[in-house]
Copies of this chain bind each other. A is one copy, B any other.
Amino acid sequence: MHNPQLDKDGRLKHLLSIEGLPKKILNQILDTAESFVGVAEREVKKVPLLRGKTVCNLFFENSTRTRTTFEIAAKRLSADVISLNVGTSSQSKGETILDTVDNLIAMHADMFVVRHSQSGAAHFIAKHVPDHIHVINAGDGRHSHPTQGLLDVFTIRKYKPELHNLKVAIVGDVLHSRVARSEIHALTTLGVPEVRVIAPKTLLPAHVEKLGVQVFLDMKSGLKDVDVVMMLRLQNERMNGALLPSAQEYFKTYGLTQDKLNLAKPDAIVLHPGPMNRGVEIDSSVADGAQSVILPQVTYGIAIRMAVMAILAGGTGHASHGQTNQDTAS
């Protein structure tokens, strides 16, 4: 079957989901991101790799946090960034999504960062655009959020480089989480031998074990001896519904406290995609504690997004290339 994310020479053309990306591409992104970690620590946090390119943030669903990370990444690559909150725009004038996209392409947009509440929106756009245009999925419905999955494995690799020796537990609302799907695909593709999901039955998708994970219904057995604990965000709207009794009840059973974390390996790390519900899925003392790598995730998220954009734009993606020109460009 044709893979819509790769061109005929097997190079990355769109980033739509981690599902279907070969290990080689995942490693290319992670390795390229390494070179961008340093850019953010420079006096002048800017490389000219995307100078004169136009990156469109096409957000059909509002997400200030995600939009900000892509905007910062694009600006540090010297791109021009156009942010369109499409919910409040031409859509309301009856124009179709594809008309909006076609117009932006006619304005010589080079790259689309797409966020949509419906699964498959980014795929739909990617299928439609001409060859020289690149699409990045910034979250679509319950389906996928690939840059989040990539930054998660990048963070894990930084702290636990021996991926093929790790036990990783993903905890929480796996059913509604696009992040969980992306994480599971990234981890299994990169050779993590044991990926567990821990959740109440009501928050597990049917046949989740087919994704190659072990299923646990309680924290005590699920967290035992893991190297990495990846917490998922519990969305407010789930809390008082039929799926869950209450936030307090959830915290008692599945909220990550230091006591529960002590079941994992002593040097286990804790991840969370943010924004956190402190006291619901995670205790503040763990979120801010010594084992938390939640803020490094955010830092590496910028490097990952810069890497994806640089690779799609056809540069080598090595920040060092930018270095040489940087004094004469912004």
Contact = CB atoms under 8 A, between A and B. Distances in A.
A94 B52 contact: no
A95 B276 contact: yes
11 contacts: A42-B52, A48-B330, A52-B76, A54-B75, A68-B104, A94-B236, A94-B275, A95-B274, A95-B275, A107-B299, A330-B330
A265 interface: no
Interface stretch (A23-31, A80-88, A195-203): A80-88
A257 interface: no
A162 to B, nearest CB: 25
B107 A296 contact: no
Interface of A: 40-46, 48, 51-54, 62, 64-65, 68-69, 71-72, 75-76, 78, 80, 82, 84-86, 88-90, 93-96, 99, 102-108, 236, 274-278, 295-299, 301-302, 327-330
Contact of A72 (B42, B51, B54, B274): B54
A103 B327 contact: no
Nearest to A68: B82
A301 B106 CA distance: 9
Nearest to A295: B106
Nearest to A106: B298
B54 A275 contact: no
Given A44-B52, A65-B89, A275-B93, A299 B72 contact: no
Contacts of A108: 40-41, 45, 299, 302
Nearest to A300: B106
Contacts of A302: 107-108
B276 A78 contact: no
Given A52-B42, A82-B72, A276-B95, A298 B64 contact: no
A182 B276 CA distance: 37
Nearest to A40: B108
A295 B107 CA distance: 9
A72 B54 CA distance: 8
Contacts of A48: 330
Q: Which 4 A-B pairs have the closest CB atoms?
A: A44-B52, A64-B89, A106-B298, A95-B275
A276 to B, nearest CB: 6
A41 B48 CA distance: 18
Nearest to A73: B107
Contacts of A71: 82
A71 B104 CA distance: 12
Given A106-B296, A296-B106, A99 B68 contact: no
